[in-house]
């Protein structure tokens, strides 16, 4: 009983240190569908070196129960035999996106096997991230469930809005299942190089640069010229009030749908002021759209 109470105290202490969070992030090529031939499943890898520059998507912890103490909700809440923490991430490598499941810690009794299934929800605009692609399932054996171990699935990197969902089941030695799931709430927009769109919100109008983007825009043979800055500034100040000269000297006028992709040249709704550095980042992103 003392050993059990000691383990419970240690597990609860570790749990109190665990951060449960979702990190949501928010330049031109054709929009392609994900096909089954694009998808590949990895063998086991150590995270060091493999995912050094990976972008973290979500982190969570999982309490593990065996058959003896899994008979009631109350016991599941109070008595655990082990716990592991993990995070999911993604990384662009050679034209592909790697979606990984990384073990961050493991204490107490290990599962006999841990299976993780990856599903990608994706779409051409932020309001229609509804297409589902099953990316596959990876399996960790008991000896592989330790800090720093990662398995991943790989699919083609296309310009798209997407959300990664994972479902998993940790099966204990006595056969008890410990299922769970994790998923993003807000879609991420990446281009064919896996670069996240550099989101920007104009502090005055509150207009953002991402929400009306579509991944189906076609590139024109030549980008039309535009010299409507003065006209736009006049329209902007008529609607939002006079802005100091320092405001206008620090921004460029951004076409939300770029001119090279058929964006209306002088449509007020397609224009917004963006800080010069941020506008350069957006322009750079669109080179790999």
Judge whether 74 lies within some domain.
yes
* Separation between Cα atoms, residue 166 and residue 171, nearest integer Å: 16
Percentage of the chain beyond pLDDT 70 is 78
* Separation between Cα atoms, residue 241 and residue 243, nearest integer Å: 6
73 lies in the same domain as 207: no
Q: Looking at the chain, list the stretches that DSSP marks H as alpha helix, in order from N- to C-terminal side.
A: 2-17, 47-50, 73-78, 229-240, 245-249, 276-285
Count of structural domains, the chain:
2
* Separation between Cα atoms, residue 156 and residue 22, nearest integer Å: 24
Judge whether 3 lies within some domain.
no
pLDDT digits (tens, 9 = 90+) for 222-254: 999 999 999 999 999 999 999 999 999 999 999
151 lies in the same domain as 207: no
* Separation between Cα atoms, residue 9 and residue 2, nearest integer Å: 10
The domain boundary residue, chosen from 169, 190, 211:
190
pLDDT digits (tens, 9 = 90+) for 67-122: 765 555 554 444 789 999 999 999 999 999 999 999 999 999 999 999 999 999 99
147 lies in the same domain as 266: no
Which range is least confidently modeled, 41-55, 139-153, 214-228, 274-288? Answer: 41-55
186 lies in the same domain as 67: yes
Q: List beta partners, residue 274.
A: 252
Contact (Cβ atoms closer than 8 angstroms) between residue 98 and residue 153: yes
Contact (Cβ atoms closer than 8 angstroms) between residue 210 and residue 196: no
What was the pLDDT predicted at 67? 73
pTM of the model: 0.78
The domain boundary residue, chosen from 174, 190, 206:
190
252 lies in the same domain as 146: no
204 lies in the same domain as 166: no
The domain boundary residue, chosen from 156, 190, 224:
190
Judge whether 9 lies within some domain.
no
Return all residues near 108 (Cβ < 8 A) that are at least 6 apart.
Answer: 7, 11, 64, 80, 81, 82, 83
Judge whether 6 lies within some domain.
no
**For residue 230, what are its two tokens?**
């003065």
pLDDT digits (tens, 9 = 90+) for 23-58: 332 222 223 344 444 444 444 444 443 444 689 999
Percentage of the chain beyond pLDDT 90 is 73
**Cα angle 92-94-96, degrees, rounded to a multiple of 5:** 55
What was the pLDDT predicted at 11? 43
75 lies in the same domain as 184: yes
Judge whether 7 lies within some domain.
no
Range of the domain at 186: 14-190
* Separation between Cα atoms, residue 80 and residue 69, nearest integer Å: 8
Rg (CA), the chain: 24
Burial profile 119-152: b = 16 or more Cβ within 10 angstroms, e = fewer: bbbbbbbbeebeeebebbebebebeebeeebbbb
**For residue 204, what are its two tokens?**
């005055």
Q: List beta partners, residue 82.
A: 64, 108
Which range is least confidently modeled, 21-35, 117-131, 168-182? Answer: 21-35
97 lies in the same domain as 219: no
Judge whether 101 lies within some domain.
yes
Judge whether 102 lies within some domain.
yes
């Amino acid at each position: 009983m003392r050993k059990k109470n000691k383990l419970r105290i240690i597990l609860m202490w570790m749990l109190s240190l665990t951060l449960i969070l979702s990190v949501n992030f928010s330049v031109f090529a054709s929009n392609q569908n994900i096909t089954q031939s694009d998808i590949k499943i990895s063998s086991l890898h150590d995270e060091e070196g493999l995912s050094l520059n990976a972008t973290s998507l979500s982190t969570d912890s999982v309490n593990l129960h065996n058959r003896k103490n899994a008979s009631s909700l109350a016991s599941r809440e109070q008595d655990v035999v082990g716990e592991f923490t993990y995070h999911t991430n993604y990384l662009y490598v050679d034209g592909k996106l790697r979606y990984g499941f990384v073990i961050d810690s493991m204490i107490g009794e290990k599962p006999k096997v841990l299976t993780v299934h990856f599903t990608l929800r994706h779409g051409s605009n932020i309001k229609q991230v509804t297409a589902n692609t099953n990316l596959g399932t990876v399996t960790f054996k008991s000896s592989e469930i330790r800090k720093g171990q990662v398995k991943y699935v790989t699919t083609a990197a296309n310009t798209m809005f997407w959300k990664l969902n994972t479902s998993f089941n940790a099966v204990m030695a006595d056969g008890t299942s410990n299922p769970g799931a994790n998923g993003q709430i807000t879609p991420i927009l990446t281009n064919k190089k896996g670069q996240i769109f550099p989101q920007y919100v104009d502090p005055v109008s509150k207009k953002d640069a991402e929400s009306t983007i579509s991944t189906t825009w076609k590139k024109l043979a030549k980008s039309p010229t535009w010299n409507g800055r003065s006209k736009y500034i006049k329209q902007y100040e008529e609607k939002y009030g006079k802005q100091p000269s320092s405001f206008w000297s620090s921004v460029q006028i951004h076409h939300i749908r770029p001119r090279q992709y058929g964006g209306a040249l002088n449509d007020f709704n397609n224009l917004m002021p963006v800080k010069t550095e941020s506008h350069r980042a957006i322009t750079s992103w669109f080179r790999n759209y």
